[in-house]
């Protein structure tokens, strides 16, 4: 079984965290996000993975190498010009040899891939789309299926009167290679808005596979913080918290005894937290330095940031190598670009 992971997006909504870091390499519990996606495929027997890349491709290959540490073989394919989700899959067509998986590289999920592939083969489907229920489906594309799971209709970002289901596209697909022949080359194509509706309208068997496990589209800093909170609370099968405090501290950190950590808190490797500082509901990446009496609340602080004495950051996102001056305040809703000095 092969899998194609789409990791070429520019992740504009997650900036400034993704200004210099590919979205798939953004750390989750101090490990790159993409590691979880690859491990999940590996544990379901997928051993050949193709990474469809475009934006900031270099750091991914430098970190993952050939994939042997995950028990898989990785192939890297760079798309010189972004051509949408279907276009990115079409670009790796020469590497596909049979039924394959395609996944959005920004989805954290407990999806049972083995069950999904089995369902796909039992239905003799051309394409199978994973579906997950959400509380408010109005911001997503809805998929309507009959009682046996065959897809009948797609509704993109529906009006309230059009909502007939709370099941949305979960960003994971099982595809037969003949789907690739129906994607035009050299032009932007969306698999969600163009390819799947074309398959359904032409009578080809497209099926929906519903599941109710943990699922998160990590598209914004709010969702990124929520993912950490959920994982530290044990809401996913991926992680069992070691303590009830919901605090995770990386290697080589120096946390002064008078500092307060109020979970959920994740602190990356090599961080320093000074006397009397308070960190609450926040994520610090690696080599972040907090001076004395610094307060960080509901925020994400990227690599190599320096927050000097008596400064505070609240409900904000700091890109890498940001400096907050002594006594400086970074207020609610701020997104500070990499390398800036603020306060």
Active site residue 340: no
Catalytic residue among 47, 90, 121, 157: 157
HEC profile of 165-195: CCEEEEEEEEECCHHHHCCCCCCCCCHHHHH
CA distance 24 to 33: 5
Structure-block tokens of residue 216: 């998160």
The contacts of residue 133 (CB under 8 Å, 6+ apart) are 166, 167, 168, 210, 212
Give the C-alpha separation, 174 to 125, whole Å: 9
Q: How many CA atoms lie within 13 A of 184 on its CB side?
A: 8
Specify the 3-state DSSP secondary structure of 235. coil
- Measure the CA angle with vertex 71, ends 68 and 77; round to 5°: 60
Query: In DSSP terms, which residues pair with 107 in a beta bridge?
Result: 217
Residues serving a catalytic function are: 157
């Amino acid at each position: 079984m092969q899998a194609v992971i789409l990791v070429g997006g520019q992740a504009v909504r997650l900036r400034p965290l993704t200004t210099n870091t590919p979205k798939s390499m953004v750390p989750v519990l101090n490990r790159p996000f993409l590691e979880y996606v690859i491990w999940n495929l590996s544990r379901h027997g997928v051993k050949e993975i193709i990474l469809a890349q475009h934006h900031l491709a270099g750091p991914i290959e430098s970190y993952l190498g050939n994939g042997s540490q995950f028990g898989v073989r990785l192939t890297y394919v760079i798309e010189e010009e972004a051509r949408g989700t279907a276009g990115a899959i079409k670009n790796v067509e020469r590497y596909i040899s049979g039924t394959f998986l395609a996944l959005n590289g920004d989805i954290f999920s407990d999806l049972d891939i083995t069950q999904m592939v089995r369902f796909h083969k039992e239905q003799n489907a051309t394409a199978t789309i994973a579906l997950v229920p959400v509380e408010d489906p109005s911001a997503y594309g809805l998929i309507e299926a009959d009682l046996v799971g065959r897809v009948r209709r797609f509704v993109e970002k529906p009006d309230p009167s059009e909502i007939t289901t709370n099941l949305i596209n979960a960003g994971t697909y099982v595809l037969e290679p003949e789907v690739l022949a129906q994607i035009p080359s050299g032009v932007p194509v969306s698999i969600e808005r163009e390819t799947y509706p074309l398959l359904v309208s032409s009578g080809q068997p497209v099926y929906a596979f519903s599941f109710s496990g943990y699922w998160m589209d990590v598209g914004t800093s709010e969702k990124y913080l929520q993912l950490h909170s959920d994982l530290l609370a044990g809401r996913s099968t991926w992680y069992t918290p070691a303590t009830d405090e919901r605090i995770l501290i990386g290697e080589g950190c120096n946390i002064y005894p008078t500092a307060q950590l109020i979970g959920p808190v994740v602190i990356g490797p090599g961080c320093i937290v000074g006397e009397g500082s308070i960190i609450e509901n926040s994520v610090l990446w690696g080599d972040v330095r907090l001076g004395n009496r610094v307060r960080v609340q509901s925020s994400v602080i990227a690599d190599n940031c320096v927050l000097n004495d008596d400064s505070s950051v609240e409900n904000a996102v700091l890109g890498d190598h940001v400096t907050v001056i002594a006594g400086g305040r970074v207020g609610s809703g701020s997104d500070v670009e990499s390398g800036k000095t603020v306060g």
